[in-house]
Structure 1
């Protein structure tokens, strides 16, 4: 082997052992990580239900209702919305 061959083999050996050690360290860190339990087990939360005002805004954005109807219904929701939930 020439001088460059030894250099390449040495560099390859360093990269090889670096990958092996790195994989081992990542494996140990994964084992050491505490496992989530209870209600916080998932890292994501399901989407919360849309409020009546959000649903109304979506209908307006899709063009299902016009601006006049949107404003009228929004006013009703804001004026009587708290009374509707007491039943």
Structure 2
């Protein structure tokens, strides 16, 4: 649907300003959705509520520390 407006053909009756505002609106909507999804993924990736003892157990299970270091650090944490 095209209209003749002030000597120019406009689509849907919107000038360049209307299309620019629509583009900014949809860019903002997409930006907010991406920001929310990225924030949700970031929160899931980090164990915020893991205790120090749980982290120590995970490090021992992955082989990052040996048994002596695990026992020593476990003793320090439980005292």
Structure 1-normalised TM-score?
A: 0.41
Q: Return the structure number with greater strand share.
A: 2
Q: Structure 2 length normalisation: TM-score? A: 0.45
Structure with the bigger percentage of helix: 1
Whichever of the two has the greater Rg, that structure is 1
